[in-house]
C-alpha cells in the first residue's frame, strides 16, 4: 500500500513538473476573465458613443495583453525548441560541481552549454537526487561574462541541504520561462554526478592526546620520528660500517677505529590513532531526529577532534568502523573528511570488536554507544586511551513541556530544528538515550582527562 501511494506521488509530481504554465498564469487568466466580464456589464446603454468608445478601449486592452502573452510564449518556445534540438544531437552538456560550503548551505556551481534565454526571460533549474528527491526550483547567480550574447550559462547556487552526507545527482531539470513567469517548459537532462557536504570547523573543548607504542612493536609507519641523544654513543668499526662515520680524532689519539652511532629513526608510535565509533545500541532506521540532527552533530564533533589532533604536530590515523567508498581525494585530510561525511549509524561493529587497544590513542563515542562496552574498555585502558564523549541531545535546544503542543496545534513551524526538537519529545528512544548519556558522563569523570562535548 505504501509503495502504491509512493508511486502515485511520484507520477503526480512528474505531471506537475511537466505542466507548460505556472499557477501564476491560472490566477491571471481567471481574474482577467472576471474583470473583462464585469467591465462588459458596466455599460448597459448600447448604441451610444460612450458605449462604442468603451468597447473599443476594452478591445485594445485585450489585444495588447494577448500580444504580450503571445510574444512571451513565442520567445519561450524558441528557446525551448533550441534546447531540445541540442539535446537530441547530444551536444547539450551539463556540469555540476560542489565548490565550497557556507554554514548549512552547499555552494553548487552549474554550467550548461549550449542554451539561450528567452527575451527578458529566465532559465531556472531543479535537481533530482537520491532516488526521486527534488530540490526547489532555483535560479543561479551568473558568472560575469564579457560577451553580450553567450550560449553558455554558468553560475552558482547556495543550496540548503539538511544532512552531512554524499548526495547522488540523477537528473537536472531545466526550465525555460518568460518574463511574466506564466509559461514554463521543462527539459529533463540526465546528469549522474556526486558531491558530499562536509562538516564545518567549530570551537570545541581543548584536549591533548599522546601517541602510543604498539605492544608487539610490529606496526611500522612511513614517516619516522627522531630519538634524541644518540650522537654520544660509539662502537668499534665493523666491515659493514660506513667509513665516513669513523671518528678520526679518537683514531689519532688511541689508534682505534670507532664509528659514531647515528641517530635512531624509531618507526613506532609517531602517529595518533583516532577511533570514532558510529555504533548504535538501538536500530535507528527511520528515526529522522537521530539520522539528521544527531548524526550531523556527531560528524561535526568527530571532524573537529581530528582537526584538533592535527594541530599537535603528529600525523593522525583515522580508523573507520564501516566500509568507505573509494574517494579521489588529493590528500589524507580530504579522504578523512569524505569518510566522516559519508559514515552512518551502524549496528554491526560494536566497540570491543572495533577498537584495537594496543594502538588506539583517542576513541570518540556517542550517546548511542553501549554503556557496558565503554565501561569495560575504560577499566582496562582508561589511563592509556583518551575518550571523547559527544552528547547527542545537546544538538537540540531544551524544550518546554508545551512546545510540542504549540507546534502541533497552534501554528506550523518552518524552523526545521524546532520541528526536530518537538518530535524528539515524543520519541520512545529519548528516555533511554538520556539515561545512557548520564551514566557515560559519570563514568568518564573518573578518567584522568575527561573530554565531554
What are the domain boundaries of the chain?
1-197, 229-262, 271-452
* Mean pLDDT of the residues in the chain: 78
List of residues 6+ apart from 261 with CB closer than 8 A: 230, 231, 233, 234, 235
Q: How far apart are CA 326 and CA 339, in angstroms?
A: 9
Q: Residue 437: in which H helix or E strand, if any?
A: helix 430-444
Give, rounded to a whole angstrom, the gap between the first and last alpha carbons of the chain: 43
Q: Is the pLDDT of residue 438 over 80?
A: yes
Q: How far apart are CA 176 and CA 155, in angstroms?
A: 16
Q: What is the mean pLDDT of residues 229-247?
A: 66
pLDDT given at position 99: 66
For the stretch 98-108, pLDDT in tens is 765 655 567 88
pLDDT given at position 207: 72
For the stretch 256-287, pLDDT in tens is 888 776 544 444 456 788 999 999 988 888 88
Q: Minimum mean pLDDT among 14-18, 204-208, 372-376: which range? A: 204-208
pTM of the predicted model, to two decimals?
Answer: 0.72
Q: Is the pLDDT of residue 446 over 80?
A: no
Where helices occur in 199-350 by DSSP H, the ranges are 248-254, 288-289, 295-310, 332-342
- The region that residue 313 occupies, defined by phi over 0 for left and psi between -120 and 50 for alpha, beta otherwise, is left
pLDDT given at position 364: 92
Amino acid at each position: 500500500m505504501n509503495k502504491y501511494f509512493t508511486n502515485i506521488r511520484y507520477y503526480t509530481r512528474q505531471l506537475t513538473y511537466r505542466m507548460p504554465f505556472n499557477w501564476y498564469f491560472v490566477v491571471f487568466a481567471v481574474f482577467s476573465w472576471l474583470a473583462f466580464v464585469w467591465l462588459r456589464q458596466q455599460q448597459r446603454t448600447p448604441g451610444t458613443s460612450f458605449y462604442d468608445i468603451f468597447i473599443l478601449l476594452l478591445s485594445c486592452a485585450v489585444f495588447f495583453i494577448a500580444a504580450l502573452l503571445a510574444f512571451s510564449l513565442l520567445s519561450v518556445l524558441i528557446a525551448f525548441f533550441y534546447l531540445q534540438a541540442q539535446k537530441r544531437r547530444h551536444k547539450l552538456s551539463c556540469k555540476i560541481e560542489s565548490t565550497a560550503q557556507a554554514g548549512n548551505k552547499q555552494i553548487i556551481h552549474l554550467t550548461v552549454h549550449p542554451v539561450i534565454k528567452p527575451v527578458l526571460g529566465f532559465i531556472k533549474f531543479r535537481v533530482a537526487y537520491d532516488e526521486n528527491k527534488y530540490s526547489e526550483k532555483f535560479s543561479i547567480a551568473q558568472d560575469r561574462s564579457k560577451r553580450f550574447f553567450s550560449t553558455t550559462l554558468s553560475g552558482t547556487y547556495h543550496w540548503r541541504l539538511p544532512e552531512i552526507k554524499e548526495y547522488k545527482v540523477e537528473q537536472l531539470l531545466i526550465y525555460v520561462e518568460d518574463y511574466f513567469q506564466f509559461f514554463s517548459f521543462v527539459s529533463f537532462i540526465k546528469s549522474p554526478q556526486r558531491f558530499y557536504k562536509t562538516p564545518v570547523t567549530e570551537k570545541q573543548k581543548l584536549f591533548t592526546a599522546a601517541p602510543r607504542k604498539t605492544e608487539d612493536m610490529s606496526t611500522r609507519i612511513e614517516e619516522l620520528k627522531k630519538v634524541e641523544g644518540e650522537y654520544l654513543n660509539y662502537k668499534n668499526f665493523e666491515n659493514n660500517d660506513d667509513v665516513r662515520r669513523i671518528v678520526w680524532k679518537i683514531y689519532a689519539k688511541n689508534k682505534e677505529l670507532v664509528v659514531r652511532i647515528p641517530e635512531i629513526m624509531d618507526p613506532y608510535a609517531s602517529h595518533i590513532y583516532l577511533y570514532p565509533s558510529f555504533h548504535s545500541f538501538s536500530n535507528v532506521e527511520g528515526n529522522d531526529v537521530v539520522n539528521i540532527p544527531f548524526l550531523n552533530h556527531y560528524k561535526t564533533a568527530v571532524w573537529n577532534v581530528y582537526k584538533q589532533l592535527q594541530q599537535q604536530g603528529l600525523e593522525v590515523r583515522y580508523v573507520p568502523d564501516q566500509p568507505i567508498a573509494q574517494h579521489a581525494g588529493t590528500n589524507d585530510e580530504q579522504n578523512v573528511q569524505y569518510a566522516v561525511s559519508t559514515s552512518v549509524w551502524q549496528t554491526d561493529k560494536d566497540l570491543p570488536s572495533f577498537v584495537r587497544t594496543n594502538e588506539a590513542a583517542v576513541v570518540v563515542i556517542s550517546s548511542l554507544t553501549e554503556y557496558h562496552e565503554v565501561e569495560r574498555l575504560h577499566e582496562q585502558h582508561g589511563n592509556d586511551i583518551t575518550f571523547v564523549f559527544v552528547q547527542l541531545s545537546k544538538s537540540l535546544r531544551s524544550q518546554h513541556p508545551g512546545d510540542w503542543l504549540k507546534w502541533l496545534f497552534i501554528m506550523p513551524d518552518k524552523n526545521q530544528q524546532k520541528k526536530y526538537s518537538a518530535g524528539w519529545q515524543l520519541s520512545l528512544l529519548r528516555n533511554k538515550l538520556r539515561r545512557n548519556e548520564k551514566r557515560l558522563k559519570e563514568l568518564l569523570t573518573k578518567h584522568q582527562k575527561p573530554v565531554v562535548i
